[in-house]
Structure 1
Amino acid sequence: MSKYKTKFACQECGYESPKWLGKCPGCNSWNTLVEEVTVKGSSHRHEGLGGGQRQAPLPLTQVASEEEPRMDTTIGELNRVLGGGLVPGSLILVGGDPGIGKSTLLLQTSFALAHQGGKVLYVSGEESAKQIKLRADRLDMKTPPMFVLAENDLELIEQHINQVEPDVLIIDSIQTVFHPAIQSAAGSVAQVREATAQLMRIAKGKGIGTFIVGHVTKEGSIAGPRMLEHMVDAVLYFEGERHNTFRILRAVKNRFGSTNEIGIFEMKDRGLEEVANPSEIFLAERPVGVAGSTVVASMEGTRPVLVELQALVAPTSFVTPRRTATGVDHQRVAMIMAVLEKRMGMMLQNQDAYVNVAGGVRLDEPAVDLAIAVSIASSFRDHATNPHDVVIGEVGLTGEVRGVSRIEQRVREAHKLGFKRVIIPQKNIRGLEAPDDIVVIGVNNIAEALDEVMRG
C-alpha cells in the first residue's frame, strides 16, 4: 500500500527540506519553499531512454555514424542560433520574459515547418485551441497545416503524440504540464523535473524535435530546478525590452552548434520578422557630431555586428561618483576608466559615467574596450569623434591596445556600411587584406587611438 509523505521544495533552486523554512539555504531566497506530497512505494516506474528495452554497451567504432539531416525552419535567424537547423530528436528549451514573443516565434516556426511537409503538434497549456487560431489569423497564417492541442495532462499528451506521430512537438509551457502520478501542483519542482524527463524520453525514443517553453523568474533565469537546463540539448533565451521592437534570440547552451550566435528579430503587427542586416538597423538613428558616440565592430558568433556605443561623463556632487553601464560589463567600464586616469591623466574621480549600447544588444567580448575608452574620453573632453571611424581593440592595464580575432570580417563589415576608416590594434595590421577604399590605422596604445579619432 502506498504511503504519502510530505516534503518542502524550493521553487527557485530545487532544495528539499523535511520542514518549512522561511529562507532557502540553497539559494537564499525568501518564501520559496512549497509543500509537496510524494508517494512512497508507488507503482510509477521511470523508463530509460531505451523505452524499457535492454540495451548492451557497444564499442564506439560499431555505432552507426549516419548523420541525420537537420530540419530547415525557413527562419534564417533561428537556423543560425540552432547551428544550421532543427536536429531530429533534440529537446530545446526556450525562455524569456512574459510577452516578449516566445509563443509567437514558435507558432511561426510551426507554420513554416508544417508548410514544408513536416507534421507539427502544438500543445498549449495556457491557451485554448480557439485562442491559438485567433493568434494565427492575426499573424496572417492562412489555414496552417498543423495540429493543435489544448491539454496539460502529460499522460494524455503522450497518447496524442502516439496517435499523431509528429515530426516536431511544441509544449507551451512546461510549467503548466503535470504528471498525474506526481501529487504536487503543476509548476512545482517535482512536476517540472518529471515532465521534462518524460518529454526527453519521448523525443529521443521517437526522434521528435521538441521545443518546450519555460517561464523565467524576476532575476531572468528559467523558473524551476537548475537541472532542467542540464537535461535539455539546447537552451535559448529570447531577450529584449517590451517597449523596444527588437528581439534577440541567444543560445546559452547548444549541443549541436555554437553558443556565440544570436538571432535578431523585429516585432511587427504580423509577428516577428528577421533582421537581415542588424548593423544597419542599430546605426540608423546614430547622431553625428556629438561627443561620446563611437561605433564598434563586435563579433556575435560568426557574424560581425556594428553598433553604436555611447558614453556620458558629467560632474557629480556626491562623494562617490556613479558608474552605470547598460549592454557592457560595468566592472570592465570601471577598469577602463582607471586606465584613463592613470595613463592619460584624466581626472574622472569626481565625474559620473554612464555607458550604453544602443539597440539593446549586450557586448561581452574584450574587442569593445577601445571603443568604451574613446567614448568616455570624448564625452569628458566634450570633443566629438570622427563619425566615419570604427574603433576596435582590447585595452590592457598599461594602456596598450591588444590584438583581436577575425579582424578581416570586422573591417569588411565596416566597409560595406560606408565607413571610411577603421582604428585597429597594430598587431592586426600584419597580413590584413582590406578593401582598397577604406583606411586602416594601427595603434599601439590609447593615446595614439585618441589622437586619431579626435583629429579635425
Structure 2
Amino acid sequence: MAKSSTQFLCSECGWSGGKWFGRCPECGEWGTIEEFREARPRAAARTRGTAMAAGSAGAAAGSRSGIGAATSHTQAAHVPDSMVVPITKVSEADVTRVPTGFGEFDRVLGGGIVPGSVVLVAGEPGIGKSTLLLETAGRVAKAAADASGTGSDAAGGATATGGKVLYVSGEESTSQVRMRASRIGAVNDHLLLASTTDLATVLGLIEQVNPVLAIVDSAQTIISQDVDGISGGSSQVREVASALIDVAKTRDIPVLLVGHVTKDGSIAGPRTLEHLVDVVCQFEGDSQTALRMLRAVKNRFGPTDEVGCFDMSGEGIDEVVNPGALFLSDGDDATEGTCVTFTVDGHRSLPIEIQALVTNSVLPTPRRATNGIDSNRLAMLVAVLYRHGGIPLLNNDLYISTIAGGLAKEPACDLAIAAALASAAFHAPIARDYAAIGEISLTGQIRPVPRLEYRLREAARLGFTHVVAPKRRRGAKPIVIDGLTVIEADSVSKALRAMGVVKRR
C-alpha cells in the first residue's frame, strides 16, 4: 500500500508546502491553506536494477566530486524516433469541432467544441449552468441522432464511433434530470443519463459509452476513493480534473465540466483547476433579470474577448442573436432624461439606454442612487457638469439607472450619462435617433474611445441617424457609414448643444 504524505495547498494560487500557514506565503490570501494527503510510491517499489544503476551513478559522481550526489527517482524512458516530428511536417488540417446547437455558445468557444478538450463552465448557484449544459446535451444528441439515422449501420442503431451524449450528474438523480429535460425539451434516445459521485464509475461510463460529448455536473461533487479529502476539497478537485483531462485526451472525447464559485465570485477549488482545463467560461447574469452572458475567461482554441447572450425562461435557455432590443426601451417618442450609448464587449457592441431623474432635495445631503453605473464616476460627472457645463446639480437628488440589467461602467458612457442628467434637469428630451459616445475628462473635454467604428456601425444597424462622438485625432481618417451622421464635439457644452439639451426659458 502506498504511503501518504500530508501536504498543505493554497486554494487560491496553488502553492503547496509541508507546513500550515494562516496566510499564504505566495499570494498573501488569508484562510486559503487546506490540508490534503497525496499518495506517494514506497521506496521498495523501485526495481533492483534501478537501485543498482542509481547507486553506481552516485558512486561515480561521488568519486569525481568527492561528495555524495543526490539521484532522481524518475528514470528516462526509451522514446522512439517517430515521436519527434519536425514542425514543417505537421499537418495543418482543421479540427472538426462539435457544434453545441447554440450559435452564441459556439461563438464564445471559437466555432464549437474541440474534440479532446475539457471546458469548465462556472457560475453562481441558480444562474442556469446545468440548464444550459443539459439543453446543449439535448441539441448535440438530436444532431447525433439525425446523423446516425441517415448514415447508420444496418441495425439502425448509433454509429460505431458513438453518436451518444453522456450526462453525469453528481447533484441530482436521473429522474430529477429527466424532469428538467422534459421541461426544456431535451429528451432524446441518444442522450444517456447517469447519477453517481464516484470518479472511477464516471471514467468507466465514459470508456463504455464512448460518447461524442460527455458532461459532468459538477467537479466539486465527484470524489475519488484513492485520494484523501472531502468532496470539493483541493485534493479531490485536482484528482477529478486530472482524471477527466486524461480520459478526454486519450479517447479524443470533449468534456464539459461544471464548476461552482465561491462567495467572492471566483471558481471554487484550487486555482490550478483553471490552468489544467483548456477552456474556462463564466456564466453571468442578474437573478432578477432573464439576461445571461457567457464569457470565455481562458480559451486555448479561440478568442477570449467574445461574449454570448442568452435569455433564461421557464422553458429553458434561448440564445439572443440581436441583444440590442433587450437594452432599449420601446416607443418612438423622445423622453426627457434618457440617452443611448454603445459599449464594446469583446468584438460585440451593445446599446445601453441610460435613464436619469433629477428632483429637488429635501435632505441635508442630497441622495445619489445608481443602478448599473459607478457611483464614483457619477460624482465626478456631476462636478464636471457644474464647472464646465453650467448645470447645477450639487443640491439635487439624482437617480440614474440602465435598463434590462445593462452595465454602463465603461468610460465611453460618460457623455451619455451627462446628457441624460442634463436632459432631466432642463426638461429637454433627446431625439430617439440620437446617441452619445465619449469619455469626459475633468477639464470638460470629450476624449476619444477605443473601437469607435464598432460602436458606430452597430448604431447605424439599429436605426440611429446621429451620433455625437469625440473629435478625431489630428491626421486620423473620418469614419463614414451610410445613413449615419457623426457629430464631432471636443467639449461637454458643445456636445449638449448638438443634442439639443439647452435650458428652456
Residues 164-210 of structure 1: CA deviation (Å, up to 9, x unaligned)? 11221111000001122111011001111121122222222222221
Q: State how 1:20-419 maps to structure 2 within 5 Å.
A: 28-29=29-30, 35-41=35-41, 56-117=83-144, 118-285=163-330, 289-312=334-357, 315=361, 317=363, 325-344=370-389, 346=391, 355-363=400-408, 365-381=410-426, 383-419=428-464
Taking structure 1 as reference, are residues 197 and 326 closer, same or farther at Cα in structure 2, changes over 3 Å only?
Answer: farther
Question: Shift of the alpha carbon at 1:17?
Answer: 7.0
Question: What is the distance in 2 between the residues matched to 1:252 and 1:227?
Answer: 14
Look up the SS of the partner of 1:175 in the other structure: coil
Alpha carbons 2:422, 2:501 under 8 Å: kept: no
Which region of structure 1 is more displaced relative to structure 2, 168-177 or 352-361?
A: 352-361
Question: What is the distance in 2 between the residues matched to 1:451 and 1:87?
Answer: 53
Q: 1:443 matched to which residue of 2?
A: 489
Question: Shift of the alpha carbon at 1:62?
Answer: 3.6
Question: Shift of the alpha carbon at 1:379?
Answer: 4.2
Question: Shift of the alpha carbon at 1:322?
Answer: 6.7
Question: Shift of the alpha carbon at 1:409?
Answer: 4.1
- Give the letter aligned to residue 219 of structure 1: D
Alpha carbons 1:38, 1:184 under 8 Å: kept: no
Question: What is the distance in 1 between the residues matched to 2:296 and 2:121?
Answer: 9
Alpha carbons 2:327, 2:406 under 8 Å: kept: no
Question: What is the distance in 1 between the residues matched to 2:346 and 2:446?
Answer: 23
Which region of structure 1 is more displaced relative to structure 2, 360-369 or 128-137?
A: 360-369
Question: Shift of the alpha carbon at 1:147?
Answer: 1.8
Question: What is the distance in 2 between the residues matched to 1:326 and 1:230?
Answer: 34
Look up the SS of the partner of 2:220 in the other structure: helix
Question: What is the distance in 1 between the residues matched to 2:257 and 2:367?
Answer: 41
Look up the SS of the partner of 1:194 in the other structure: helix
Question: Shift of the alpha carbon at 1:325?
Answer: 5.0
- Give the letter aligned to residue 302 of structure 1: H
Taking structure 1 as reference, are residues 267 and 316 closer, same or farther at Cα in structure 2, changes over 3 Å only?
Answer: same
Look up the SS of the partner of 1:307 in the other structure: strand
Q: 2:478 matched to which residue of 1?
A: 431
Question: Shift of the alpha carbon at 1:318?
Answer: 5.8
Question: What is the distance in 2 between the residues matched to 1:392 and 1:142?
Answer: 46
Question: Shift of the alpha carbon at 1:163?
Answer: 1.3
- Give the letter aligned to residue 204 of structure 2: Q
Question: What is the distance in 1 between the residues matched to 2:187 and 2:456?
Answer: 43
Residues 196-255 of structure 1: CA deviation (Å, up to 9, x unaligned)? 122222222222221111111111111111222222222211111222122111222222
Larger-gyration structure (1/2): 2
Which region of structure 1 is more displaced relative to structure 2, 128-137 or 352-361?
A: 352-361
Q: 1:48 matched to which residue of 2?
A: none
Residue identity over aligned pairs, in percent, reads 41
Taking structure 1 as reference, are residues 274 and 336 closer, same or farther at Cα in structure 2, changes over 3 Å only?
Answer: same
Question: What is the distance in 2 between the residues matched to 1:256 and 1:7?
Answer: 34
TM-score in terms of structure 1 length: 0.85
Q: How many residues were matched structurally?
A: 446
Question: Shift of the alpha carbon at 1:328?
Answer: 4.5
Which region of structure 1 is more displaced relative to structure 2, 66-75 or 419-428?
A: 419-428
Question: What is the distance in 1 between the residues matched to 2:302 and 2:5?
Answer: 43
Question: What is the distance in 2 between the residues matched to 1:334 and 1:59?
Answer: 60
Residues 320-341 of structure 1: CA deviation (Å, up to 9, x unaligned)? x776654345554455445445
Alpha carbons 1:402, 1:427 under 8 Å: kept: no
Q: 1:49 matched to which residue of 2?
A: none
Aligned-pair Cα RMSD in Å: 3.3
Taking structure 1 as reference, are residues 329 and 261 closer, same or farther at Cα in structure 2, changes over 3 Å only?
Answer: farther
Q: 2:498 matched to which residue of 1?
A: 452
Which region of structure 1 is more displaced relative to structure 2, 396-405 or 283-292?
A: 283-292
Question: What is the distance in 2 between the residues matched to 1:195 and 1:328?
Answer: 40
Taking structure 1 as reference, are residues 356 and 39 closer, same or farther at Cα in structure 2, changes over 3 Å only?
Answer: same
Question: What is the distance in 2 between the residues matched to 1:242 and 1:99?
Answer: 8
Taking structure 1 as reference, are residues 363 and 229 closer, same or farther at Cα in structure 2, changes over 3 Å only?
Answer: farther
- Give the letter aligned to residue 327 of structure 2: F
- Give the letter aligned to residue 72 of structure 1: P
Question: Shift of the alpha carbon at 1:397?
Answer: 3.9
Question: What is the distance in 2 between the residues matched to 1:171 and 1:42?
Answer: 33
Residues 82-136 of structure 1: CA deviation (Å, up to 9, x unaligned)? 1221122221111111111111110111111122224321111111112111211
Alpha carbons 2:11, 2:270 under 8 Å: kept: yes
TM-score in terms of structure 2 length: 0.78
Taking structure 1 as reference, are residues 230 and 10 closer, same or farther at Cα in structure 2, changes over 3 Å only?
Answer: closer
- Give the letter aligned to residue 190 of structure 2: P
Question: What is the distance in 1 between the residues matched to 2:86 and 2:233?
Answer: 40
| Structure 1 segments unaligned to the other structure (5+ residues) | 45-51
Question: Shift of the alpha carbon at 1:435?
Answer: 2.2
Alpha carbons 2:24, 2:30 under 8 Å: kept: yes
| Structure 2 segments unaligned to the other structure (5+ residues) | 46-76, 145-162
Question: Shift of the alpha carbon at 1:295?
Answer: 0.5
Question: What is the distance in 1 between the residues matched to 2:406 and 2:309?
Answer: 10
- Give the letter aligned to residue 137 of structure 2: S
Alpha carbons 2:293, 2:309 under 8 Å: kept: yes
